[in-house]
Amino acid sequence: MSTSTSIVAILYQARWYIASALFASYLAQSFRVYRRLAHVKGPWLAQFSEAWLLGAIYRQRAHHEFYAVNKKYGNLARIGPNTLLTCDVDHVGRMSAPRSPYVRSDWYLGFRLAPGIDNVFSMRDEKAHTKRRAQMNLGYTGKENINFEPQIDIHVLNFINLIRRKYISTYPEMKVMDLAQKAQYFTIDVITDLATGAPFGDLATDSDQHDYLRTTMEAQPAFVMIGSVPSVNKFIQIPFIGKRLFPTAEDEIGMGKMIGIAQEKVAERFDPVSKLKIEKPDILQSFINHDLTKEEAVSESLLLILGGSDTTASAIRATMLCILTSPQAYHSLQAEIDGAVLSSPVVRDDEARKLVYLQAVILEGLRMHPPTGGLLSKVTPPEGDTIDGIFVPGGVNIATNTWALMRSQNVFGPDVDCFRPERWLNVSEAKYAEMARVVDMTFGSGRFKCLGRTIAWMELNKIFVEFLRNFDWAVVDPTNPWKSANLGIIVHREFYVQVTKRGAGK
């Protein structure tokens, strides 16, 4: 018998011992992982594996399940072998403070839109992230000779005109409009126009151009699941593997089509022949003016369109549902709008900011239903940290429970599950500032605050005024108003409404 054959025979005879040894090693490793954070309570399964967390994400109701976990186990709870969940307002702010020793976890790698290529949201390197934000800040805030407002007004009017043209109900003819869909058409048109000067045209055609919204909705659950498992996430970031899984510019529809459009727009700006003719005061040109490379400009343009569309659309849908199911708020807001002296066909941003009840409604809508549903986890510094009196060792992922932050009774009072804009009225400046600071965490905080916040607020300031200024609204089926899912961003589908001209039934 040869030596190699002998070795094979010995290994075969010892297979049960080998299997037992491997299983014992696995148990020992699991026990070490468990012991490291055994003093932090949470669901039993989460102490040993990622299965509990993946189950919550798979059911697409993670924000509700996270909320239940913190209510049961306290402000700091364990939701994975190396992942804790916090709803401590002060600690969330501290993790994102400018000189905080916390850094982003590898959860953020799931937001790379191409393998190995970072954007400002996926970056974990602190110096690179700070530099990239500085390069992009002026473009996002409109401070570089970019006037966002007239362009946003065009799309607000397009939205209003689409409703008038196709979706006005008149007795006895009832027309149904999917507000979830149309809100996304609006936000995608706004952000593609501001980003590249070329809106998709969803509102004009009343259609999902390039099947972008449908395909991204279908793909998002898988990417959220992958992003929550670091080992799998890192695996698909290997270029030759990622290229077979990620969409590409050769695709005819969806995200791939969007990549192709972004590459085309960016290439035009870098073309030495056409550069001077194409240069215009939009966000993409600002990125290029501040030395983003061609590859970086493509990546950031895609992120801008994805993030700027989904989150604002979510806020519009959720706030409208709150308004339409709260008669007191509906009539109070409409009365304030009717009593205001508005100087243009679309309310100006500075006018909207003076409408006190409108601002209360927007803040309360964001509080009741924040668009963010992901982990947003940061990593404890090597020396560890103490959170709510509990010591946490270094290298632990601390996820943010945004849904629970917005329901802090210490901040907002005992009726946190109630949509009540009046909580923002007749309170001290200090209390208003405290509540507003927490709600603003829906856009992140500190060095991780969303760069597109200015654009989102301008859209929100305008759209609700024009909705209630021009139309009367009703939910078609109050018992089942929409389909909702947490895909990292909380999204809604099939939000059917009935729209009539103001006073049509009187």
| Other C-beta atoms lying within 10 Å of the C-beta of residue 241 | 12
Does 87 carry a binding-site annotation? no
Report the first-to-last Cα separation within the chain, whole angstroms.
100
Residue 265, token pair as written in the block:
């727009």
Cα–Cα–Cα angle for 159, 165, 167, rounded to 5 degrees: 80
What's the pTM? 0.90
- Give the residue-averaged pLDDT of 11-20: 56
Query: How far, in whole angstroms, is CA 493 from its chain's centroid?
Result: 16
Percent of the chain with pLDDT over 70: 84
Cα–Cα–Cα angle for 306, 246, 395, rounded to 5 degrees: 80
Q: Which CATH architecture has domain 42-501?
A: Orthogonal Bundle (1.10)
pLDDT per position as a tens digit, 239-265: 666 666 666 666 666 666 777 777 888
Query: Taking a C-beta distance cutoff of 8 angstroms, is the pair 409, 67 a contact?
Result: no
Lowest pLDDT segment from 28-37, 120-129, 415-424, 458-467: 28-37
| pLDDT for res 215 | 77
